C-alpha cells in the first residue's frame, strides 16, 4: 500500500520531452554528417573526434527517445512494473558510451600528438561554429527536463559536452589559422576526452545505484527505523529494504513486530501513519509493511534474503 501521484501534466511533460528529443536528434544528424565530411577534407582530428562524439549523441538521443516512449507503457501481468526502469537503463547506456568514446579519443589524440599534421583551419572554424549553435539549441531544449530526469540528464550531458567540445575545436581552429599551432588539435581532443569521462562518471555511478537497488543517498534508513519504532503499538522494525524504482518512485519495505495481536483495521491506521510520515519527511511514496506478532525470526534491521 502506498501513495501514487500522477496527473495529466506528467503526460504533457512527457510529450514535450519526446518532441524536444526529436528536434535534437535531427540537429545532431546534420552536425555529424557535416563534421565527418569536413574532418576528412580538412584533416582535423579534433573535428573528426567531435563528429564521433556527435554520432554518439545521435545514438544516445535515440536511446533516450525510445526509453521515453517505453516509460509511458502501462504495466501488465508479465511486466508488473511496466517499463518504468527504461529511462534509468538509457541513462546507464548513455553514460557508458560517453566514457568509451572518451577513451577512444585519448588514444587517437596521443597518436596524432606524436605526428601532428597540417590542417585546413577555415573549414574547422566554420563547422565548429555551426555545431556550437545547433548544440546550444539542443541544450536549451533539454535543460529543464534534465534537472529532474536521469534519462534526460544523460542526453543533456552528451549535448552539453559536445557544445563545449565544439567551442574547444573553434578555439583550436583559430590558433591553427593565425599561429600555425597544429599540435593544439591533439591537445584539445585529449582535453575533450577527459571532460567526457568526468561528466559521464557521476551519471554512470548514479544510474548503477538505481539498477542495483542500492539505498538512495538521501534516505537515512537507521533514522527512519528509529522514528517508526517510536509509534506506540510498534515493538520492532526489521528486515528493511529501501530502493529507487525510477526518478519518481522510492519504495520502503519492512517487517514490523507489534506489541499486541491487533486487528486488521488497527493495522491500517498504523500503516497510514507510517505512509504519511515517510512520504512527507523523506519523499518515500510506496510503502509495503509485513505485520508480525510473536514471530520467531531474525530481528536484524538488514537481513540477507
Per-residue model confidence as pLDDT tens digits over 180-229: 777 777 787 788 788 878 878 988 999 999 999 999 999 999 999 999 99
CA dist 278 and 284 (Å) reads 6
Reported as a single tens digit per residue, the pLDDT across 259-287 is: 999 999 999 999 999 999 999 999 999 99
Per-residue confidence band for 252, with pLDDT thresholds at 50, 70 and 90: very high
Whether 295 and 257 have beta carbons less than 8 Å apart is answered as yes
Of 107-116, 173-182, 284-293, highest mean pLDDT? 284-293
Give the residue-averaged pLDDT of 104-122: 76
Reported as a single tens digit per residue, the pLDDT across 80-90 is: 989 989 999 99
Provide the percentage of residues in the chain whose pLDDT is more than 90. Answer: 36
Whether 160 and 61 have beta carbons less than 8 Å apart is answered as no
Domain covering 221-292 in this structure, CATH number: 3.30.70.1350
8-211 has which fold? Alpha-lytic protease prodomain-like (1.20.1510)
CA 131 to chain centroid, in Å, comes to: 24
Quote the pTM value: 0.78
* pLDDT at position 4: 42
Q: What are the structural domain ranges in the chain?
A: 8-211, 221-292
Of 86, 304, 302, 104, which is closest to residue 207 (Cα–Cα)? 86
* pLDDT at position 151: 86
Residue 3 has pLDDT above 50, yes or no: no
Give the residue-averaged pLDDT of 69-75: 88
Q: Is 286 left (phi over 0), alpha (psi -120 to 50) or beta?
A: beta
User: Average model confidence (pLDDT) for the chain?
Assistant: 85
Strands 234-244 and 250-258 come out as antiparallel
Q: How many CB atoms lie within 10 A of CB 284?
A: 23
Would you call 139 helix, strand, or coil by DSSP?
helix
Amino acid at each position: 500500500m502506498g501513495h501514487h501521484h500522477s496527473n495529466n501534466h506528467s503526460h504533457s511533460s512527457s510529450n514535450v520531452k519526446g518532441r524536444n528529443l526529436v528536434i535534437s536528434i535531427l540537429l545532431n544528424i546534420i552536425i555529424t554528417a557535416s563534421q565527418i565530411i569536413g574532418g576528412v577534407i580538412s584533416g582535423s582530428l579534433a573535428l573528426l573526434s567531435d563528429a564521433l562524439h556527435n554520432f554518439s549523441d545521435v545514438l544516445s538521443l535515440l536511446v533516450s527517445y525510445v526509453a521515453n516512449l517505453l516509460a509511458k507503457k502501462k504495466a501488465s501481468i508479465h511486466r508488473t512494473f511496466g517499463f518504468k526502469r527504461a529511462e534509468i537503463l538509457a541513462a546507464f547506456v548513455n553514460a557508458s558510451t560517453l566514457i568509451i568514446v572518451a577513451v577512444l579519443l585519448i588514444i587517437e589524440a596521443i597518436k596524432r600528438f606524436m605526428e601532428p599534421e597540417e590542417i585546413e583551419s577555415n573549414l574547422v572554424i566554420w563547422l565548429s561554429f555551426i555545431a556550437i549553435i545547433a548544440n546550444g539549441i539542443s541544450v536549451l531544449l533539454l535543460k529543464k527536463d534534465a534537472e529532474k530526469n536521469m534519462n534526460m540528464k544523460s542526453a543533456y550531458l552528451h549535448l552539453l559536452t559536445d557544445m563545449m567540445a565544439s567551442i574547444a575545436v573553434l578555439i583550436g581552429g583559430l590558433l591553427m589559422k593565425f599561429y600555425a599551432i597544429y599540435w593544439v588539435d591533439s591537445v584539445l581532443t585529449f582535453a575533450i576526452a577527459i571532460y567526457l569521462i568526468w561528466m559521464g562518471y557521476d551519471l554512470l555511478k548514479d544510474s548503477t545505484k538505481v539498477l542495483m537497488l542500492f539505498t538512495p543517498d538521501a534516505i537515512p534508513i537507521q533514522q527512519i527505523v528509529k522514528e517508526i519504532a517510536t509509534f506506540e503499538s510498534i515493538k520492532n522494525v526489521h528486515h528493511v529494504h529501501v530502493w529507487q524504482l525510477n526518478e519518481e518512485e522510492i519504495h520502503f519495505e519492512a517487517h514490523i513486530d507489534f506489541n499486541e495481536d491487533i486487528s486488521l483495521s488497527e493495522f491500517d491506521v498504523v500503516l497510514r501513519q507510517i505512509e504519511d510520515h515517510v512520504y512527507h519527511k523523506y519523499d518515500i511514496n510506496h510503502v509495503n509493511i509485513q505485520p508480525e506478532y510473536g514471530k520467531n525470526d531474525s530481528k536484524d534491521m538488514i537481513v540477507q534474503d
